[in-house]
Amino acid sequence: MAVVAASGCAPAGGQGPGRRAAALGHSPAGGGLAGLLAGVLACVLAGCAGPVSTLQPAGPAAREAAQLWWGMLTVGVIVLIGVVALWLHALRRPSAMVGPAEAKRITLLWLVGGGLLLPGFTLIALLAFGIPAGHRMLPLPLAGGEAPLRIEVIGHQWWWEVHYPDSGVVLADELHLPAGQPVDVVVRSADVIHSFWIPRLAGKIDMVPGRSNLIRLQADEAGEYRGQCAEYCGVSHAFMVLRVVAHEPAAYAAWQQERGG
């Protein structure tokens, strides 16, 4: 357990599976407030490292999601403890006889303060962080104007068909991509709904027959990652796994050359 814990929960970037120890010493929280409390609690519970752990992100989108989690966990724990403490205190409090006017004042205080203001402000704060974070994850045009690499993935019961339109390379159950640069993945389905998900790189996107969806991925460093189908798609859903390999850009080019040529 201690070993797992020591392997760290750092949302900070870029550990391949073999390099988890490097996470030691990073701050567990990228998001300011989300501090030790959350990190310690979490690591004591079970550790957050793992080949498909969203809490050991290896790409910008997954990292932002993990940061959101740590921040929300911190605020959530505080709110939960606060509300439960209030409840327990109210239960045990020696009953003071309050007059009707005083009762009215207290009522208003609780209802306006706890019922309106507390959730109101929390939600505004949450959206203020969340909407921009979601926006940054979108496959928007890049600043430089050049188009990111495009890969097409088609879900089948129960395997992944991976196409590289630029080079004509076709793979099964394996996705190769260059590290350190954004990649757009177009997903489709050949049969039922699947969901394309590489937890350490980014969130998931459904593969829906009749539609194409787009998701942007980026692996910060070369290494192996694991993708898996997230939408129940039939009996072998649990085994619909995708091997993801991020290469250094030069190695990626070489790999494409070799496969495509």
Task: Give residues 83-142 in contact with other proteins (rule: CB under 8 A).
Answer: 83-84, 86-88, 90-91, 93, 95, 98-100, 103-104, 106-107, 110-111, 113-116, 118-120, 122-123, 126-127, 130-131, 133-135, 137-138
Give the binding range for Cu ion (CB under 5 A) out of 68-76, 88-96, 128-136, 229-237.
229-237
As a whole number of Å, the CA-based R_g of the chain is: 23
Angle between helices 118-137 and 60-92 (to 10 degrees): 170
Minimum gap (Å) between residue 156 Cβ and Cu ion: 10
Span between the terminal Cα atoms of the chain, in Å: 48
d(Cα 256, Cα 261) in Å, to the nearest integer? 8
Near Cu ion in 184-203, by CB under 5 A: 194
Q: Measure Cα distances from 73 to 79, 168, 202 in Å.
A: 10, 45, 19
Q: 119 touches which of Cu ion, other proteins, none (CB within 5 to 8 A by kind)?
A: other proteins
148 binds other proteins (CB under 8 A): no
Handedness of CA 156, 160, 165, 168 (dihedral sign): negative
253 binds other proteins (CB under 8 A): no
Q: 168 touches which of other proteins, Cu ion, none (CB within 5 to 8 A by kind)?
A: none
Indicate which single residue of 33, 79, 170, 172 sits in contact with other proteins (rule: CB under 8 A).
79
d(Cα 239, Cα 141) in Å, to the nearest integer? 34
229 binds Cu ion (CB under 5 A): yes
Q: Measure Cα distances from 183 to 14, 50, 66, 147 in Å.
A: 16, 23, 20, 9
Q: Strands, E, within 90-200: which ranges?
A: 149-156, 159-164, 169-172, 174-178, 183-189, 194-197
Q: What is the pattern of x (binds other proteins, CB under 8 A) and - over residues 223-242? A: ---x-xxxxxxxxxxx----
Indicate which single residue of 26, 150, 237, 259 sits in contact with Cu ion (rule: CB under 5 A).
237
Q: Which is nearer to other proteins, 234 or 260 (CB)?
A: 234
Near other proteins in 3-22, by CB under 8 A: 4
Near other proteins in 20-49, by CB under 8 A: 42, 45-49
198 with 242: CB under 8 angstroms?
yes
d(Cα 55, Cα 115) in Å, to the nearest integer? 32
Q: Under the rule (CB under 5 A), what is the footprint of Cu ion?
A: 194, 229, 233, 237, 240
